[in-house]
Structure 1
Amino acid sequence: MQVRLYPDTAQEAALRATLDLCNEAADLASAEAFQRRIYSKQALQRLTYGRLKALGLSAQPAIHVARKVAGAYATLKANIRAGNLGKPGSKRRAKVESTPIRFRADAAQPFDDRCLSWQFADRTVSIWAVGGRLGRVRFGCSEQQYATLVAYRQGESDLVCRDGKWFLYATCHIPDVEVTEPDGFLGVDLGIVNIATTSDGTRHSGKGLNRVRHRHQRLRAKLQRIGTKPAKRLLKARRRKEARFAAVTNHRIGKQIVTEAERTGRGVALENLGGIRDRVRLRRPQRVTLHSWAFHQLGQYIAYKAARAGVALVHVDPAYTSQGCSTCGHIAKANRPNQSIFRCTSCGFAEHADVNAARNIAARGAADWAAVSLPNAA
């Protein structure tokens, strides 16, 4: 849960000094971990605890700094194993493997309940800082967020400074909702021309989103060519605007899809699109569109909204869903004469191509659910 902090001038200065010191300490611990090749939480904590305390950190912040560093190296190793940083021997991978991890001055710092306490009635927090504990730091959020915080907040909260604004990312443990047995599935085909198309025929057009992205792309290129200080300031100010627009759009689409599935008593079937950027080969003008397409984010939003609503969710193999006929099952490239039209060369069935693909996804979702929930039915 993202919660905005409203510190006064003195409180903001103390928070800034605290974040700076924590990330300076994280850099020190990271260099030590890299030099000695010690990356586990407990071992790194034992190795660096004394030096971190000597920098001015209290016991719990020092422990959290060591754990943050260990977590960063664990994430780096996972990305290397997954191939996200290039193949063995590539320049990018060699660079990250040959240097210790560095932390930005405003990188997030976790706090547990010993360092951070919430006064919900007053809408304030008390937080550890370098010069002494800060009390009565105001926070603000919506009423829905406030109710969630009061009912479900547990564990750590991350202190974050973003574009001069202060936030706490609070962990909320919300109980699982029992998944309702679905009466069929609502298939969702994710795409670029249409961000999402359902098997009911609802199409969420990507035209507006892609228009905004292309405008931002042109503006970024223009400002980068100019290269002056004012141009760089404008680039920095606008860097998250496109991401915020895409996130709001994906939230809206995800909510509509899950609400429709819940209303009709169905589950949601999505394509498993993992690794699509590596599999798909496109012409150069189309690559920017694919790589800026937030399909993974939309899938995550649908997944968590479905989980909170108790709606069944399955991910299906997307192979040939766009070339197969949802009526007779015939698969052929010729079934897709162009991007938007599907016309089966076997039975003559015609439909919008994305709707046909979504119906295939819905059918696979029902089959996969039956195979898992009723494995011995046959």
Structure 2
Amino acid sequence: MKLVVRVKLLPTPEQATALEATLRSCNEASNWLSSEAFARRVTSRAGLQVLAYADLRARGLSSQAALHVLRKVADAYSALKAHARVGNPGKPGSKRYVRATSKSITFRAGAAQPFDDRCLSWQMDAATVSIWTTRGRLKRIAFTGHPEQLELLARYRRGESDLLCRNGQWYLIATCEIPEVEENSRPDGFVGVDLGIVNIATTSTGRRHSGRRLNRRREQDRKLRGKLQRKGTKSAKRRAKRHAGKEARRARDINHKISKCIVACLQILRLR
């Protein structure tokens, strides 16, 4: 089973400047390569490597960073083709389909960039990382996170980690491969859970988890979004950007807490 762990980096101003320059350079290279791939109709990893590896190296990227840019662009086009096959952008010939497939894929200046163990190393005891940048290798960048997640990271981290900047904050998204737990083929009991809107979850044991507070906050968020969109000023757009994703994160947090509470109650009942 694969889980994703997000840790927050705590770089110094100088380190943050180097990370920003690296992310910007990698995404500028990705946009250049994407336009070349679209124009020449070459989107496979092997084809892109023959086409542009030397040019990416000439742009100041290390060998591993250049390979990650190649894979990033190739994977983006593979995903676009897969979505087009199942009709996600709409029917062929529709406005949405043409809009999605008639131009090269672009990457934001702060889009996530993958790093492998050759250009990123973790020092779990010291809670620091060492990472390649376009300004040289940065060492002793502090990171922090929830203790349980850090324990998972130390025990099960495998493969690549993505560097990401969101709202001025720096993160590393790491993949952990956790061994599958053997399923219990002979359970000694079960509980039913009914999901709803007024009551988010109601168990067969009679316990209810009300959604009144969550729905009230959703209504407040909807009114705030409408107000900021109608205003349309720069400050309103900045506030809307800061607020983006907050509603989804709040709902995800509440759902997670409810599921944990249900499991904890079942464990208590079993011990009785």
TM-based fold match above 0.5? yes
Deviation at 1:258, TM superposition (A): 3.9
- Residues 245-298 of structure 1: CA distance to partner in whole angstroms, max 9, x if unpaired? 111112112223444566678xxxxxxxxxxxxxxxxxxxxxxxxxxxxxxxxx
- 1:147 matched residue in structure 2: 151
Query: Within 5 Å, which residues of 2 pair with 1:174-185?
Result: 174-181=178-185, 182-183=187-188, 185=190
Query: Within 5 Å, which residues of 2 pair with 1:299-310?
Result: none
Query: What code does the residue aligned with 2:205 have?
Result: D
Which of 166, 188, 194 does residue 189 from structure 1 map onto? 194
- 1:10 matched residue in structure 2: 14
Query: What code does the residue aligned with 2:45 have?
Result: K
Which of 3, 22, 26 does residue 22 from structure 1 map onto? 26
Aligned mates of 1:259, 1:72 — CA distance in 2: 41
Q: TM-score, normalised by structure 1?
A: 0.66
Is 1:199 the counterpart of 2:199? The answer is no
Q: TM-score, normalised by structure 2?
A: 0.90
Which of 166, 174, 198 does residue 162 from structure 1 map onto? 166
Deviation at 1:160, TM superposition (A): 0.4
Shift of the 261–68 alpha-carbon distance from structure 1 to 2, 3 Å rule, reads farther
- 1:361 matched residue in structure 2: none
- 1:289 matched residue in structure 2: none
Deviation at 1:203, TM superposition (A): 2.9
Query: What code does the residue aligned with 1:94 have?
Result: V
Which of 235, 242, 246 does residue 247 from structure 2 map onto? 242
Query: What code does the residue aligned with 1:124 have?
Result: T
Aligned mates of 1:189, 1:26 — CA distance in 2: 46
- 2:75 matched residue in structure 1: 71
- 1:269 matched residue in structure 2: none
Shift of the 159–193 alpha-carbon distance from structure 1 to 2, 3 Å rule, reads same
Shift of the 183–53 alpha-carbon distance from structure 1 to 2, 3 Å rule, reads same
- 2:40 matched residue in structure 1: 36
Q: Which moved more, 1:159-168 or 1:41-50?
A: 41-50
Aligned mates of 1:206, 1:27 — CA distance in 2: 44
- Residues 289-311 of structure 1: CA distance to partner in whole angstroms, max 9, x if unpaired? xxxxxxxxxxxxxxxxxxxxxxx
Q: Which moved more, 1:24-33 or 1:68-77?
A: 68-77
The unaligned stretches of length 5 or more in structure 2 are none
Secondary structure at the aligned position of 1:218 is classed as helix
Identity between Structure 1 and Structure 2 (%): 57
Deviation at 1:19, TM superposition (A): 0.1
Aligned mates of 1:35, 1:188 — CA distance in 2: 53
Deviation at 1:165, TM superposition (A): 0.3
Secondary structure at the aligned position of 1:122 is classed as coil
- Residues 322-346 of structure 1: CA distance to partner in whole angstroms, max 9, x if unpaired? xxxxxxxxxxxxxxxxxxxxxxxxx
Bigger Rg, structure 1 or 2: 1
Is 1:123 the counterpart of 2:137? The answer is no
Aligned mates of 1:19, 1:45 — CA distance in 2: 20
- Residues 21-70 of structure 1: CA distance to partner in whole angstroms, max 9, x if unpaired? 00001111211222222222222223221111111100000000111111
Query: What code does the residue aligned with 2:259 have?
Result: G
Deviation at 1:140, TM superposition (A): 0.9
Shift of the 262–96 alpha-carbon distance from structure 1 to 2, 3 Å rule, reads farther
Which of 226, 229, 233 does residue 234 from structure 2 map onto? 229
The unaligned stretches of length 5 or more in structure 1 are 266-378
Aligned mates of 1:43, 1:259 — CA distance in 2: 52
Which of 96, 112, 118 does residue 116 from structure 2 map onto? 112
Asked which structure has the greater RCO (Cα within 8 Å, sep 6+), the reply is: 2
Deviation at 1:186, TM superposition (A): 3.1
Aligned mates of 1:9, 1:163 — CA distance in 2: 15
Query: What code does the residue aligned with 2:207 have?
Result: T
Query: Within 5 Å, which residues of 2 pair with 1:42-121?
Result: 42-121=46-125
- Residues 335-373 of structure 1: CA distance to partner in whole angstroms, max 9, x if unpaired? xxxxxxxxxxxxxxxxxxxxxxxxxxxxxxxxxxxxxxx
Aligned residue pairs, count: 265
Query: What code does the residue aligned with 1:220 have?
Result: R
CA RMSD of aligned residues (A): 1.9
Aligned mates of 1:207, 1:155 — CA distance in 2: 42
